[in-house]
């Protein structure tokens, strides 16, 4: 998104008309063609049975640490499920429905409209959620949109569609699960304090509802307010939910909420999302112009949006979770971050840069970057036991290609350079210019984590070696690690050239030539036609064909003849060209086990993308197109509405495996389909 659009959105938000204006005022009619691609793309329907019910998906936006869903079952109550709070624990539902609208008539409060009988439509978009209820007398439209990373605003619009006046009793009410939250009433809002987080919640209700009471510190309700509606007359009730961490000001946020005109806010959000989707759709590769590919791009964008978080606690920049849906993924990983940033760079350069900066806040003086970090280290501690494969210079270069922001490059370049040479200082046991994965604490398990492929078969017999205090290596040299380092040298040379550091350019180019030769001679087995890890001496292959075997092609470090040999094995249906092609290990290996293997068989879409890009790098474009189509059609639920993008997939059946709403899978779908820079 360019700066002009961002300034327009900010202006719309800041100058929005007061909510005291006539509720009948409507925003200009606009058509958001590309926004419609996101309609019901993910199925957000869930009425949580308890605070840890993860049977459904949650909608979030603007980097908020909370989200909502569309209810499935709720008697005579109107509103949205949640919010689901990522402000505490590893994500919990605060409530089945924190702000419910009830409508009744007469002295006996007879319910006259409700979920079971009168719901005629529930829809989700990347911009907002909405519901429509209707019977012979009333039509109610409810909408929820995020005003910021701190606040969501919902509007209940009640219209008399009968031919006679109607007198109604209306009430807003809500309660919470037993998750440590207590209510208190202060001035014109309700305050929510939890024993599990320093984030404070606030509920505000439009000024027609100033008669709110608190019960047992766990629920609130407004006394019935009588409204009278003439035929075709409408009334609105606006409710906001805010969850504010201590580094932000509730008073400032409250002023912003009070100044919001709902229609202006909703239109601004629609415009923002429509622009993002338009950018993605218009920059697809020409061979993927079918509507199904536009739709999967919308699903990928939504996936990344739902995992977006603003700075809080230990986290000083915006970034993406791998998945809000899985309890152990409510943090930020370095390898994931580089991949997220490249995907984001195709439609949101600002957020892409923030994602990269987030992880480099956790860089040590020697260049080491932490594996994963968290907002609240009392829930989980940062992991400094290992780092992750070096793809950060690639990510920064991909961002730079799209906007040539030299200030960003000036900021990042020294950090990237230090990180690059950290590998040679701390992870080259025999000082031969080829690096190994390892750990800082001497543990074998952390060394395997550092590869990103935790339990890959190539590490089954690995041992740990001490380089120096705080630096340990595996007793093998990995082809993927050194291919990534080769690609990083080429990326660093481009960044150095942009900055005018010509001496660095020459050094990186010279080093890359030497490393390319080593990769081609040490790691390639001409008998098998495949790249493997080797022992430290480089005279023995660690056999077992895995996805690391095509990383030399992805990095452009293989010769053309080597690339042809690798391509032939990749396209073999008995090996890697499965129902969901280019999985983590060959299907004919005896240890192939997608259901139990994690990195011993499932298809991870990052590895599949690296495989497709490997083919394109050596002009095997027909094969690359075939593979792309088969990946997207073979992986269950990627195309079409409803199902979320998964962490990985069964390569034979296509079944989605492990975490839902997975960010790097979504980021690589974008990469698969977008034009090359």
542-575 pLDDT, tens digit each: 999 999 999 999 999 999 999 999 999 999 999 9
CA distance 396 to 391: 9
The reported pLDDT for the residue numbered 210 is 67
Contact, 601 vs 584, CB < 8 A? yes
CA distances from 132 to 119, 143, 156 (A): 6, 9, 10
Indicate whether 414 belongs to any domain.
yes
Same domain, 328 and 456: yes
What are the percentages of helix, strand and coil residues in the chain, rounded to 5? 35, 25, 40
Last residue of some domain: 194, 224, 259? 259
Indicate whether 227 belongs to any domain.
yes
pLDDT tens track for 401-417: 999 999 999 999 999 99
Indicate whether 23 belongs to any domain.
no
Indicate whether 155 belongs to any domain.
yes
Last residue of some domain: 202, 225, 259? 259
The reported pLDDT for the residue numbered 8 is 39
Judge whether residue 650 has pLDDT over 70.
yes
Indicate whether 82 belongs to any domain.
yes
Number of domains in the chain: 2
CA distance 47 to 45: 7
Contact, 18 vs 259, CB < 8 A? yes
Same domain, 302 and 178: no
Same domain, 470 and 567: yes
Cβ count within 10 A of residue 186: 8
| 0.75 exceeded by pTM | yes
Coil, helix or strand at residue 135: coil
189 sits in which H/E element = strand 189-194
Same domain, 433 and 558: yes
Indicate whether 664 belongs to any domain.
yes
Coil, helix or strand at residue 261: coil
Q: Percent of the chain scored above 90 by pLDDT?
A: 88
Same domain, 301 and 227: no
Nearest to 474 by CA among 515, 433, 434, 444: 444
Same domain, 304 and 165: no
CATH assignment of the domain containing 482: 1.50.10.10
CA distance 664 to 605: 8
Indicate whether 634 belongs to any domain.
yes
Label residue 11 by pLDDT band (50, 70, 90): very low
The reported pLDDT for the residue numbered 225 is 86
Judge whether residue 24 has pLDDT over 50.
no
CATH assignment of the domain containing 237: 2.70.98.50
Same domain, 206 and 319: no
Q: Percent of the chain scored above 70 by pLDDT?
A: 94
The reported pLDDT for the residue numbered 211 is 81
Indicate whether 267 belongs to any domain.
no
Same domain, 254 and 302: no
Same domain, 556 and 447: yes
Contact, 277 vs 137, CB < 8 A? no
The reported pLDDT for the residue numbered 28 is 38
Same domain, 444 and 525: yes
Last residue of some domain: 227, 244, 259? 259
Judge whether residue 108 has pLDDT over 80.
no
The reported pLDDT for the residue numbered 4 is 42
The reported pLDDT for the residue numbered 208 is 64
What's the sign of the alpha-carbon dihedral 245, 249, 254, 255? negative
pLDDT tens track for 492-502: 999 999 999 99
Long-range contacts of 532-536 (CB under 8 A, 24+ apart): 532/458, 532/479, 533/458, 533/476, 533/477, 533/478, 533/479, 534/476, 534/477, 534/479, 535/475, 535/476, 535/477, 536/429, 536/430, 536/436, 536/475, 536/476, 536/477
464: domain range?
A: 283-531+546-673
Same domain, 303 and 219: no
Same domain, 211 and 290: no
Label residue 30 by pLDDT band (50, 70, 90): low
CA distance 615 to 637: 25
């Amino acid at each position: 998104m360019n700066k002009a659009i961002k300034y327009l959105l900010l202006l719309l938000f800041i100058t929005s008309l007061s909510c005291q204006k006539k509720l009948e005022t409507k925003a200009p009619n606009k058509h958001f063609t590309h926004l419609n691609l996101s309609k019901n793309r993910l199925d957000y329907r869930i009425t949580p049975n308890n605070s840890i019910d993860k049977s459904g998906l949650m909608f979030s936006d603007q980097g908020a640490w909370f989200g909502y869903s569309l209810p499935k079952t709720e008697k005579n109550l109107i509103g949205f499920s949640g919010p689901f709070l990522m402000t505490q624990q590893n994500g919990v539902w605060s409530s089945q429905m924190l702000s419910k609208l009830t409508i009744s008539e007469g002295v006996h409060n007879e319910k006259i409209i409700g979920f079971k009988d009168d719901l005629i439509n529930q829809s989700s978009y990347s911009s907002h959620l909405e519901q429509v209820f209707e019977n012979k007398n009333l039509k109610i439209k409810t909408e929820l949109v995020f005003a910021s990373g701190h606040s969501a605003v919902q509007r209940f619009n009640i219209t008399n569609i009968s031919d006679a006046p109607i007198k109604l009793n209306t009430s807003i009410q809500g309660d919470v699960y037993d998750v440590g939250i207590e209510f208190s009433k202060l001035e014109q809002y309700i305050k929510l304090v939890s024993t599990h987080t320093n984030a404070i919640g606030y509920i505000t209700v439009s000024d027609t509802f100033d008669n709110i009471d608190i019960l047992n510190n766990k629920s609130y309700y407004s006394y019935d307010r009588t409204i009278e509606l003439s035929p075709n007359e409408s009334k609105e009730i606006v409710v906001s939910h805010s969850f504010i961490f201590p580094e932000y000001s509730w008073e400032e946020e409250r002023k912003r909420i009070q100044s919001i005109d709902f229609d202006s806010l909703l239109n601004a959000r629609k415009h923002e999302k429509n622009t993002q989707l338009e950018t993605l759709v218009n920059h697809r590769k020409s061979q993927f112009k079918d509507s199904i590919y536009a739709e999967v791009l919308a699903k990928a964008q939504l996936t990344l949006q739902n995992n977006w978080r603003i700075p809080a606690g230990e986290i000083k920049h915006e970034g993406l979770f791998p998945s809000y849906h899985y309890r152990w993924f409510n943090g930020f990983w370095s390898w994931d971050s580089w991949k997220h940033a490249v995907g984001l760079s195709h439609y949101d350069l600002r957020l892409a840069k923030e994602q990269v900066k987030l992880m480099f806040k956790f860089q040590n003086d020697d260049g080491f970057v932490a594996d994963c970090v968290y907002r609240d280290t009392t829930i989980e501690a940062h992991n400094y036991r290992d780092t992750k494969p070096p793809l950060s210079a690639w990510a920064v270069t991909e961002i730079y290609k799209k906007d040539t922001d030299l200030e960003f490059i000036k900021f990042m370049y020294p950090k990237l350079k230090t990180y690059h040479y950290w590998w040679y200082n701390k992870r080259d046991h025999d000082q031969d210019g080829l690096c190994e994965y390892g750990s800082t604490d001497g543990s074998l398990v952390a060394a395997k984590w550092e590869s990103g492929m935790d339990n890959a078969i190539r590490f089954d017999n690995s041992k740990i070696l001490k380089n120096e205090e705080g630096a340990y290596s595996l007793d093998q040299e990995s082809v993927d690690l050194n291919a990534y380092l080769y690609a990083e040298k080429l990326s660093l040379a481009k960044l150095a050239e942009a900055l005018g550091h010509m001496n660095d350019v020459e050094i990186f180019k010279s080093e890359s030539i030497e490393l390319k030769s080593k990769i081609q001679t040490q790691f390639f087995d001409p008998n098998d036609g495949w790249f493997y890890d080797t022992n430290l001496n480089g005279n023995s292959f660690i056999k077992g064909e895995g996805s690391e075997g095509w990383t030399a092609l992805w990095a452009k470090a293989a010769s053309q003849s080597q690339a042809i040999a690798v391509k032939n094995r990749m396209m073999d249906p008995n090996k890697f060209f499965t129902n969901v092609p280019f999985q983590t290990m060959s299907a004919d290996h005896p240890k192939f086990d997608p259901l139990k293997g994690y990195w011993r068989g499932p298809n991870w879409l990052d590895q599949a993308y690296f495989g497709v890009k490997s083919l394109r790098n050596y002009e095997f474009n027909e094969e690359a197109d075939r593979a792309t189509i088969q990946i997207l059609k073979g992986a269950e639920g990627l195309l079409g509405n409803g199902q979320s993008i998964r962490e990985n997939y069964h390569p034979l059946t296509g079944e989605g495996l492990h975490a839902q709403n997975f960010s790097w899978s979504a980021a690589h779908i974008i990469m698969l389909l977008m034009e090359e820079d």
